[in-house]
Chain A
Amino acid sequence: GESVGLHLPTLSVQEGDNSIINCAYSNSASDYFIWYKQESGKGPQFIIDIRSNMDKRQGQRVTVLLNKTVKHLSLQIAATQPGDSAVYFCAENPPQGKLIFGQGTTLQVKP
């Protein structure tokens, strides 16, 4: 079946460093991708999205990169802060389908 997976379950970074969270998706026809942030005890919160006709999109301190050739998605967080500590999920949207979520990567920011 279809699946969206993340390469590492936990990522630990020093405050102020840049973070890179990776995601592999399996449906080459997926045309929309989203990154969500989930803080402890809360629901997932939208961070940034990207459509398949783009390979890069920037937000405030976050950048999403899409490599369709290898079906890879990454989320880059610049100058990581303690408030960035959370679980990050990628999700893919196949055409005519529903969002498929990965298992998530825990980002730990060390002071």
Chain B
Amino acid sequence: NAGVTQTPKFRILKIGQSMTLQCAQDMNHNYMYWYRQDPGMGLKLIYYSVGAGITDKGEVPNGYNVSRSTTEDFPLRLELAAPSQTSVYFCASSPGTGLQETQYFGPGTRLLVL
């Protein structure tokens, strides 16, 4: 299993541009998550999904959108990039059995908005 994969690894955007960060998992996990991590800080939850077709906001959803059309994929969309969105973005997944769960993380996408 590849686990959780993310593309691209790094991207530079101009203010106002849009892009989609890709995330995929091959562990048949129900739950998926998007976090951002600013320098020297912890992880902040942007959006999460408990299954295909179901998404919900996390702590910092403004400026982002998500969709979950399949169990495997959970793309994160930035419509109008702003410098405040410069960060490292991590996707994670967990089984979603309803029990106490470990989240498994991807390698991250580093985004710079200039």
With an 8 Å Cβ cutoff, the count of chain A residues facing the other chain is: 22
**Contact status of A49 and B102, CB under 8 A, knowing A42-B108, A44-B90, A98-B58:** yes
**Contact status of A98 and B48, CB under 8 A, knowing A43-B107, A103-B41:** yes
Contact of A43 among B58, B90, B100 (CB under 8 A): B90
Contact present for A89 and B100 (CB under 8 Å): no
Provide the residues of chain B in CB contact with A9, threshold 8 Å: 40
Of the listed residues A45, A99, A104, the one surrounded by the most CB atoms of chain B closer than 10 A to its CB is A99
Contact present for A93 and B43 (CB under 8 Å): no
* CB-CB contacts below 8 Å: A41-91 with B: 41-46, 49, 51, 89
Provide the residues of chain B in CB contact with A49, threshold 8 Å: 100, 102
With an 8 Å Cβ cutoff, the count of chain B residues facing the other chain is: 20
- Quick check: is A34 within 8 A (CB to CB) of the other chain? yes
* CB-CB contacts below 8 Å: B33-61 with A: 33, 40-43, 45, 48, 58
Contact present for A43 and B102 (CB under 8 Å): no
Contact present for B102 and A45 (CB under 8 Å): no
Provide the residues of chain B in CB contact with A45, threshold 8 Å: 105
Contact present for B42 and A43 (CB under 8 Å): no
Contact present for A32 and B105 (CB under 8 Å): no
Contact of B43 among A32, A42, A89 (CB under 8 A): A89
Q: Name the 6 nearest CB pairs between A and B, nearest first.
A: A32-B100, A43-B105, A103-B42, A101-B43, A101-B42, A44-B105
> Can you pick out 10 interface pairs between chain A and chain B where the beta carbons lie within 8 Å of each other?
A43-B4, A43-B92, A44-B90, A44-B105, A89-B43, A93-B100, A98-B45, A98-B48, A102-B42, A103-B42
Query: Which residues of B pack against A, CB within 8 Å?
Result: 4, 33, 40-43, 45, 48, 58, 90, 92, 100-108
